[in-house]
Amino acid sequence: MNTEIPEACIQAIANARHIVVLTGAGVSAESGILTFRDALEGLWAKYDPRELATPEAFERDPELVSRWYDMRRLMCRDTSPNPGHGAIADLQRRTERSGGTFTLLTQNIDGLHQRAGASDVIELHGSLWKWRCASCYTPATDLPEPLAEFPSPCACGGFLRPGVVWFGEALSHDDLTAAAAACDACDVFLSVGTSGVVYPVAGLIDLVSVRGAPTIEVNPDVTPQSGQVTWSLRGPAGEVLPALVDSIGA
């Protein structure tokens, strides 16, 4: 691995009792899941994800949007967590074993953190694995893989939609309150694999910086937050995170 991790950064994590980790699509990139901003391949290349991830798109074309999310659901089913997910789960176990708190916030809807062994994951933008009726909100259970119909009907006459937060939709108040409270109290904030442009989640790091608490970014590229963080670890999560966790002895 060619990303140097400063000793002070290692100590900040090693000595932290209250850790917040925020992840984005980049943590799942090494599992083969295209990030939100990657041009989607093949059939989907002509669609802009931000155009499909809206209530208006579902209203306009529930078949297309259901197909897109079901394709992503099955793609995620057929991938596996990568060492970056594993390192985060190891860090959670180490922190909680020593009596500290660990809050894992993710913008991802793929469920890979949970499959890597992380617990109490706060899925701020929902999950591909929780579909519900768009009209009566009844949760859908035992969804076939793939869905049998596009869109899939609900007994009430409505259509099933993925349990994700679309652009223009509010996040869960409880999740956001828990996330903000963790950021207000943490000793260190670790942002992994996110372009940091989607609000209100992108604003969470400010709650930490304003207190002068250390913030760390893990990303091969520069982001709008790179200038504000204490340390930028410029590399892939699947390499940097295991090295970081090995350095502190998890």
Residues that bind Zn ion (CB under 5 A): 133, 135-136, 154, 156, 158
- Tell me which of Zn ion, ligand BV8, none is bound by residue 31, counting a contact when its beta carbon lies within the kind-specific cut-off of 5 to 8 angstroms: none
If the CB atoms of residues 25 and 116 are measured against ligand BV8, the closer one turns out to be 25
Question: C-beta of 139: minimal distance to Zn ion in Å?
Answer: 10
Please state whether the peptide bond connecting residue 49 to the residue before it is cis, i.e. omega within 30 degrees of 0: no
Sequence-separated (6 or more) residues with CB below 8 Å from residue 149: none
18 given a catalytic annotation: no
- Tell me which of ligand BV8, Zn ion, none is bound by residue 231, counting a contact when its beta carbon lies within the kind-specific cut-off of 5 to 8 angstroms: none
Interface with ligand BV8 by CB under 6 A: which residues?
24-26, 29-30, 35-37, 53, 107, 109, 125, 164-170, 193-195, 197-199, 201, 218-221, 223, 236-238
- Tell me which of Zn ion, ligand BV8, none is bound by residue 249, counting a contact when its beta carbon lies within the kind-specific cut-off of 5 to 8 angstroms: none
SS3 59: helix
If the CB atoms of residues 78 and 199 are measured against ligand BV8, the closer one turns out to be 199
If the CB atoms of residues 85 and 161 are measured against Zn ion, the closer one turns out to be 161
If the CB atoms of residues 133 and 250 are measured against Zn ion, the closer one turns out to be 133
CA distance 114 to 57: 29
Sequence-separated (6 or more) residues with CB below 8 Å from residue 106: 22, 23, 24, 27, 113, 121, 122, 123, 124, 125
Strands 188-192 and 101-106: unpaired
Q: Are 164 and 129 in contact (CB under 8 A)?
A: no
- Cite the active site residues: 125
